[in-house]
């Protein structure tokens, strides 16, 4: 199962990287709304890693990031998720408090899957917004990654 999650994390990292490179190439045409969603995607990944590790996040879930910082945030979060995958049991239960102050408990497996799924969802939003701005979007579907 860890090999499968490793594959999902690799997919998410590479798809996020392609998205960041697309945003960087078109920075002058990226809307505030698109940058807000991209920032949220990377902030959330960081926050989930910190929750798993019982550490305080550096960012809020909706903090605005600069496009030039997204690539480093992607790499940092990916590497941390990989260490989590290597060092923790997927069944380990994590109790955390969300941004609304509510407390929940989920397994590492559930959280890692959420990170990947959440990123996929928001990449789709980003691509739709880029198309609305007249830019060519890219496909970051898992099956294309596997081809």
- With helix as H, strand as E and coil as C, how does the chain read? CHHHHHHHHHHHHHHHHHHHHHHHHCHHHCCHHHHHHHHHHHHHHHHHHHHHHCCCCCCCCCCCCCHHHHHHHHHHHHHHHHHHHHHCCCCCEEEEECCCCCEEEEEHHHHHHHHHHHHHHHHHHHHHHHHHCCCCCCCCCHHHHHC
Say if residues 107 and 90 touch (Cβ distance below 8 Å): yes
**pLDDT tens sequence across 98-141:** 989 999 999 999 999 999 999 999 999 999 999 999 999 999 99
Question: For all residues of the chain together, what is the average pLDDT?
Answer: 97
Q: How many residues does the chain have?
A: 147
Question: Residues 94, 107: contact at Cβ < 8 Å?
Answer: yes
Residue 77: the pLDDT is 98
Domain of residue 83, residue span: 2-55+64-146
Instruction: Say what percent of the chain tops pLDDT 90.
Output: 99
The CATH number that applies at residue 21 is 1.20.120.450
Instruction: For residue 86, name the pLDDT band (cuts at 50, 70, 90).
Output: very high
**Tens digit of pLDDT for each residue in 59-80?**
999 999 999 999 999 999 999 9
């Amino acid at each position: 199962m860890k090999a499968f999650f490793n594959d999902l994390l690799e997919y998410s990292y590479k798809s996020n990287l392609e998205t960041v490179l697309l945003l960087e190439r078109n920075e002058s045409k990226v809307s505030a709304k698109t940058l807000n969603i991209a920032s949220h995607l990377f902030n959330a990944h960081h926050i989930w890693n910190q929750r798993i590790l019982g550490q305080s996040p550096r960012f809020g879930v909706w903090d605005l990031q600069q496009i030039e910082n997204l690539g480093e945030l992607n790499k940092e979060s990916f590497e941390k998720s990989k260490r989590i995958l290597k060092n923790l049991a997927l069944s380990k239960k994590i109790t955390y408090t969300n941004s609304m102050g509510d407390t929940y408990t989920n397994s590492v497996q559930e959280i890692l899957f959420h990170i990947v799924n959440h990123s996929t969802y928001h990449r789709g939003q980003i691509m739709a917004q880029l198309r609305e701005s007249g830019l060519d979007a890219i496909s970051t579907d898992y099956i294309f990654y596997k081809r």
